Amino acid sequence: MPASVAPPATPSLVTLDALRAAAAVLRGVAVRTPLLPAGDALPAGVDGTRVWVKPEMLQRGGAFKLRGAYTFLAGLAPAVRARGVVAPSSGNHAQAVALAARLLGVPATVVMPTTVTPAKRAGAERLGARVELAGTTTADRMARAEEIVAATGGVLVPPYDHPTIIAGQGTAGLELVEDLPGVRLVLVPVGGGGLSAGVATAVKLLSPATRVVGVEPAGAPKLTRARAAGAPVHLGSTRGLADGLLAVEIGHAPFAHHQAYVDDVVTVDDAALAPAMRALLDRCKLVTEPSGAITLAALREGLVAPATDGETVCVLSGGNIEWAGLCGVFCGADGVGQRGAGGDVGTAVQAPLRRA
């Protein structure tokens, strides 16, 4: 990774001042997403009267990723930014970088896996990015992105392993606590770790008594393994419906924040994702991708109980899924649907997506 974007060898933790500076950069650019009641989306027997969702699918670009991408790009010197930006991404980061680049008037190239969903590739293209496909792994995408940077002089925009990205994503946590001072439990999805690190940092710095729980797919337990080992662990491969959360290793900078501010981590089976997506659609009128629904799924499955001494918030990370994908999830051969390794959720291949 180029030195200009490499995380520090010993990551320092993002400060409250850095989070507030990112919020100032994003003012008028990113949507301040609301808190919406989630009670009707929870099953009988679960007290949902004080459970809320923060729907980042309502963010520009369809997911939380614009927060970090725009903060990073805006912090570059104009002459450096003008050389163009390059982003390796499984999907949502690519769209966010494409949007941020368009807003700032600079060219963007995004490197996505050959298994990228049609919705996410089309989103990046609609936003003006040049799309390249490279393999199926994080390493494949990073290697190709670095080749493009070396050839063009562009700037690599890391998806999660950088303090500026963490600070940008953490603005969702600032909003959450400011809008709901009585929050006592926050559930946040864990992919590469940028969102979970940023949200946990913001929540703990503003409300130290609030518990923060990371939620990751059972087929991609990179934070669970890292916490057991005391350091990031490379999983070799991951698989599951939640394609945005299938990183094979937690980022080093995010992990330092997780160790400081995340109280617990739980894993959710694929089978719980479609019912959570359906509940959010039917009861809250919110369209989520599988990754976005994972926090509500953890509550619905009883893996985490709502707070008894205050409010609970589930961060819904995104909703970049289109009609064919929804049909595949809800109307698959088994009544639930599975994601095919060859494309979107609605493909005929009945196997979860795999990352290596």
Residues 75 and 126 in one domain: yes
pLDDT of residue 44: 87
- Radius of gyration (C-alpha) of the chain in whole angstroms: 18
Q: What pLDDT shows up at residue 90?
A: 79
- What's 147's domain CATH number? 3.40.50.1100
Domain tally, the chain: 2
Percentages helix, strand, coil for the chain (3-state, rounded to 5) are 45, 15, 40
Do residues 160 and 192 make contact, with C-beta atoms less than 8 angstroms apart? Answer: yes
Task: Name the packing angle between helices 163-179 and 252-261 (round to 10°).
Answer: 30
Q: Which of 156, 183, 209 is the last residue of a domain?
A: 156
Note whether 206 and 242 are same-domain residues.
Answer: yes
pTM over 0.75: yes
Q: Exactly one of 54, 65, 120, 204 is catalytic; name it.
A: 65
What pLDDT shows up at residue 333?
Answer: 37
Q: Indicate whether 314 and 238 sit together in one domain.
A: yes
The Cβ of residue 16 has, within 10 Å, a number of other Cβ atoms equal to 14
* Residue 222 known to be catalytic: no
Residue 135: the pLDDT is: 87
Task: Please count the helices (runs of H) and the strands (runs of E) in the chain.
Answer: 13, 12
Model pLDDT, residue 345: 28
**How many CB atoms are closer than 10 A to CB 146?**
16
261 and 314 belong to one structural domain? yes
Among the listed residues 89, 90, 291, 317, the single catalytic one is: 317
Give me the pLDDT at residue 147, please.
96
Name the residue range of residue 143's domain: 66-156
Handedness of CA 354, 72, 260, 253 (dihedral sign): positive
Does residue 35 belong to any structural domain of this protein? yes
pLDDT recorded at residue 352: 54
Per-residue pLDDT tens, the chain, 356 aa: give them: 333 444 445 579 999 999 999 999 999 999 999 999 998 999 988 888 999 999 999 999 999 999 999 999 999 999 999 999 999 987 889 999 999 999 999 999 999 999 888 888 998 999 999 999 998 877 889 899 999 999 999 999 999 999 999 999 999 999 999 999 999 999 999 999 999 999 999 999 999 999 999 999 999 999 999 999 999 999 988 999 998 999 999 999 999 999 999 999 999 999 999 999 999 999 999 999 999 999 999 999 999 999 999 999 999 999 989 888 888 888 863 433 333 322 222 222 234 565 55
User: Does 340 reside within a domain?
Assistant: yes
CA distance 185 to 208: 11
Instruction: Look at residues 217, 243, 221 and name the one whose alpha carbon lies nearest to residue 329.
Output: 243
Half-sphere exposure of 309 (CA within 13 A, CB side): 5
Query: Is residue 3 in a domain?
Result: no
Q: Annotated catalytic, 90?
A: no
What string of H, E and C letters represents the secondary structure of 217-228?
Answer: ECCCCHHHHHHH
CA 173 to mean position of chain CA atoms: 13
Asked whether residue 119 falls in the same domain as residue 268, the answer is: no
